[in-house]
């Protein structure tokens, strides 16, 4: 065999091998969600598959409705419990601290006016007020975070109260010896009370009252998510039953009926229970806490007015207003009495029954009498009759002290009534939510199980 020139045949081992077969790419990996979605689409093409999907969705909706209801209502119930058991008691304690401090200052000035031998009942009242304020501060500190605003005010009061009592003891010691320096110590102690202690106590009361308002608002917030899920769950159950009727002409599916009934009970219980709770907590706020707030300020104004009235005689015009024209303590007394009359007017408008209005009216009458007697005492003092004015201020009969006591007793009675009103309404509000979280969870489990049973009854017809 001849070959063309210059053409060389390749050795056998160098001859070209046949081409390799083409590589087929592996199918892309499908994720779990993609595979699940595929199965759902495949199941949805058959009636049994569709029924299984419907059953799962219904059970999920009912369980979600019950779980969210239990969570939201438990949160509202906790806030309502805080209103009754924590926030309002702390607010009341803060007001009591304020009153005790103001009353101690009033008692100290009254005892000083009585002379070298302080009356035992006045001294005992001062001691009780100081002990009560100290006890309440210890309790408040135990229930308050030291880093909060309330904790800082409590720390201030705990530091400054011993300083105040020390000044009072120095004033008493000098007064027993007949030294004029006692009056200076008493005025300095009053400045400590007016400029440091009482403002700190007022800030503490404001902070605790604000926390009470926040808890009240939290307890009254509508559970919109629970209500929305309830409506969606009921709509889905009604749709499933209508679908069942149109496909089978069967009017009732017992499982779906039980699920619908359970969901309806949860929704109605939620709506009615929360509405009642909101109403009672609103009544506790308007008819209780707002009245308590006004009455507390009224009582504190009366105590401050009484202390300034006493100090007017102690200072004998030695302390003037910043403009140098008027007696400071007489000016402060006038301001406090004006605030007292305004607070009593507000308290009368907030009182909702005769038991609340009657003591406020008595306080108004006594305050009017107090001002008249005060004017008479000031006229007597201005005419140079100090002893006569002193008798009109601290005497046992027809004195401003008697009028002040009548005001204080009436306000104490009004406060007790409004406190009872608040506690009753707030406890009723908390009670309206009792058992709802556990009941909603139990009914949701029942409803979910019933919906699955109802759907399975339909599925059994295909087997």
189-199: per-residue pLDDT in tens?
Answer: 988 998 999 99
Mean pLDDT of 366-393: 92
pLDDT at 430: 92
CB–CB of 144/136 below 8 Å?
no
Is pLDDT of 39 > 80?
A: no
- Residue 149, judged by CB atoms within 10 A of its CB (0-12, 13-18, 19+), counts as middle
Residue whose pair of structure tokens reads 């009926």 in the numeric block? 257
Q: Hey, what are 433's tokens?
A: 């939510």
Residue-level length of the chain: 463
Residue 229 pLDDT greater than 70, yes or no: yes
> How far apart (Å, rounded) are the C-alpha atoms in residues 66 and 327?
68
pTM above 0.85, yes or no: no
* 45 — pLDDT class (breaks 50, 70, 90): low
88 and 422 Cβ atoms separated by less than 8 Å: yes
Look at residue 19 in the predicted model and tell me its pLDDT: 57
Mean pLDDT of 105-119: 84
| Mean pLDDT for the stretch of residues 269-289 | 91
Least confident of 31-45, 72-86, 213-227, 348-362: 31-45
Q: Where does the pLDDT of residue 325 fall: very low under 50, low under 70, confident under 90, or very high at 90 and above?
A: confident
User: What is the per-residue pLDDT for 50?
Assistant: 82
Q: Is-contact 446 258, C-beta < 8 A?
A: yes
As a whole number, mean pLDDT of residues 144-170 equals 92
Q: Is the pLDDT of residue 342 over 60?
A: yes
Whether pLDDT at 12 is above 60: no
pLDDT at res. 36:
61
Between 10 and 147, the more confident residue is 147
Average pLDDT over residues 281-300: 90
DSSP state of 144: S
CB burial of residue 384 (10 Å; 0-12, 13-18, 19+): exposed
CB-based contacts of 83: which residues, under 8 Å, 6+ apart? 212, 215, 216, 219, 281, 284, 426, 429, 430
Q: Which residues contact 317 (CB under 8 A, 6 or more apart)?
A: 327
C-beta separation of 100 from 193 below 8 A:
no
- Predicted local confidence at residue 21, as pLDDT: 55
| Digit-coded pLDDT (tens) for 306-320 | 988 988 888 777 777
| pLDDT digits 0-9 by tens, 438-454 | 999 999 999 999 999 88
Structure confidence at residue 302 as a pLDDT band (50, 70, 90): very high
**pLDDT of 43:** 56
Beta carbons of 236 and 259 less than 8 angstroms apart? no
Q: Confidence band (pLDDT; 50, 70, 90) for 10?
A: very low
Q: Is the pLDDT of residue 32 over 80?
A: no
Closest CA to 252 of 262, 260, 244: 244
pLDDT at res. 42: 59
Looking up tokens 């629970």, which residue turns up?
226
pLDDT surpassing 70 at residue 20: no
Say how far apart CA 108 and CA 122 lie, in whole Å.
8
Tokens linked to 416: 């007790």
Contact 411, 363 (CB under 8 A): yes
Mean of the pLDDT values across residues 83-99? 90
Residue closest to 225 by CA, chosen among 435, 440, 448, 434: 440
CB 98 within 8 A of CB 202: yes
Q: What is the mean pLDDT of residues 137-145?
A: 89
**Residue 38 burial (C-beta neighbours within 10 Å; 0-12, 13-18, 19+):** exposed
The arithmetic mean of pLDDT across residues 136-164, rounded, is 91
What is the rounded average pLDDT for all residues in the chain? 86
Binned at pLDDT 50, 70 and 90, residue 1 comes out as very low
Q: 3-class DSSP state for residue 10?
A: coil
pLDDT of residue 7: 45
| Spatial CB neighbours of 137, under 8 Å, sequence gap ≥ 6 | 97, 154, 157, 158, 161
Cα dihedral 173, 403, 353, 348 in deg (nearest 10)? -90
Instruction: Name the 3-class secondary structure at 288.
Output: helix
* Residue 58 near residue 450, CB atoms below 8 Å: no
Question: What average pLDDT does this structure show over 395-418?
Answer: 92
DSSP state of 327: B
């Amino acid at each position: 065999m001849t070959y063309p020139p210059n053409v060389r045949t390749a050795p056998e081992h160098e001859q070209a091998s046949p081409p390799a077969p083409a590589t087929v790419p592996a199918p892309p990996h499908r994720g779990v969600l993609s595979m699940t979605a595929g199965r759902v689409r495949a199941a949805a093409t058959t009636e049994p598959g569709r029924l299984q999907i419907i059953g799962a969705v219904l059970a999920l909706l009912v369980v979600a409705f019950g779980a969210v209801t239990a969570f939201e209502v438990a949160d509202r119930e906790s806030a309502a419990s805080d209103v009754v058991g924590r926030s309002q008691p702390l607010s009341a304690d803060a007001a009591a601290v304020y009153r005790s401090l103001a009353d101690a200052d009033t008692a100290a000035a009254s005892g000083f006016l009585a002379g070298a031998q302080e009356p035992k009942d006045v001294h005992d009242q001062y001691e009780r007020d100081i002990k009560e304020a100290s006890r309440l501060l210890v309790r408040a500190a135990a229930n308050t975070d030291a880093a909060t605003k309330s904790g800082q005010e409590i720390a201030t009061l705990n530091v400054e109260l011993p300083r105040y009592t020390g000044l009072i003891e120095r004033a008493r010691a000098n007064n027993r010896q007949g030294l004029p320096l006692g009056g200076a110590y008493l005025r300095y102690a009053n400045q400590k009370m007016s400029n440091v202690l009482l403002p700190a106590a007022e800030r503490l009361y404001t902070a605790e009252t604000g926390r009470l308002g926040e808890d009240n608002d939290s307890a009254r917030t509508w559970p919109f998510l629970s209500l929305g899920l309830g409506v969606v769950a009921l709509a889905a159950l009604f749709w499933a039953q209508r679908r069942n009727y149109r496909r089978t002409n069967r009017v009732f599916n017992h499982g779906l009926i039980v699920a619908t009934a359970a969901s309806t009970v949860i929704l109605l219980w939620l709506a009615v229970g929360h509405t009642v709770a909101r109403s009672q907590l609103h009544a506790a706020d308007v008819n209780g806490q707002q009245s308590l707030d006004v009455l507390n300020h009224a009582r504190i104004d009366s105590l401050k007015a009484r202390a300034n009235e006493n100090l007017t005689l102690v200072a004998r015009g030695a302390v003037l207003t910043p403009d140098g024209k008027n007696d400071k303590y007489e000016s402060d007394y006038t301001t406090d009495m004006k605030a007292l009359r305004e607070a009593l007017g507000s308290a009368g408008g907030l009182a909702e029954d005769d038991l609340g209005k009657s003591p406020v009216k008595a306080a108004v009458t006594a305050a009017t009498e107090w001002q008249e007697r005060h004017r008479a005492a000031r006229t007597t003092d201005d005419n140079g009759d100090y002893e006569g004015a002193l008798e009109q201020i601290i005497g046992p009969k027809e004195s401003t002290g008697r009028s002040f006591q009548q005001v204080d007793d009436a306000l104490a009675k009004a406060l007790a009534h409004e406190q009872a009103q608040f506690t009753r309404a707030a406890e009723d509000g908390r009670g309206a939510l009792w058992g709802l979280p556990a009941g909603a969870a139990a009914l949701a489990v029942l409803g979910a199980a019933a919906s699955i049973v109802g759907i399975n009854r339909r599925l059994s017809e295909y087997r």
